């Protein structure tokens, strides 16, 4: 069950040239299966849902933990009030909306809501 503020998803990097080999690796090593959302994104549901992003500057990024929120606007305000720095304002994506922030240590996380 999804709950506000709990880890819900993780995005990991790939490149356009390695997305197929990354999927093949996890399929062979761990029997993962994937759902493709276009040529640069492939999602998995293997204990913790996640996906591989192979587009733009995100391809060079560290893994991105994604939290869930029942009320994205309230969570955005709470992150700002607690001292988080918004690095990507709220934007729409297939399945909902989300924003990215960094914590005081510089770790980047995202929060999504339906």
Residue carrying the six token digits 């992150």: 79
Residues of the chain with pLDDT under 50: none
Q: Return the CATH number at 84.
A: 3.10.180.10
Residue 91 within a domain? yes
* pLDDT tens, position by position, 20-39: 999 999 999 889 999 999 88
| Cβ-Cβ contacts under 8 Å for 77 (sequence gap 6 or more) | none
Contacts of residue 48, Cβ cutoff 8 Å, sequence gap at least 6: 7, 8, 9, 10
Judge whether 32 lies within some domain: yes
- Quick check: is 1 in a domain? no
pLDDT at position 64:
93
Does residue 2 fall inside a structural domain? no
Overall number of domains in the chain = 1
pLDDT of residue 54: 87
Domain hosting 41: range is 7-113
């Amino acid at each position: 069950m999804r709950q506000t503020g709990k880890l819900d998803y993780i995005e990991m990097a790939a490149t356009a040239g390695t997305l197929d080999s990354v999927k093949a690796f996890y399929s062979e090593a761990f029997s993962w299966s994937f759902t493709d959302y276009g040529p640069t994104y492939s999602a998995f549901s293997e204990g913790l849902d996640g996906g591989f992003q192979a587009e733009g500057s995100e391809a060079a990024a560290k893994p991105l933990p994604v939290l869930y929120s029942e009320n994205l606007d309230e969570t955005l305000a709470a992150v700002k009030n607690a001292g988080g720095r918004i690095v990507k304002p709220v934007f729409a994506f297939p399945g909902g909306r989300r924003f990215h922030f960094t914590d005081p240590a510089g770790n980047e996380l995202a929060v999504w809501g339906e």
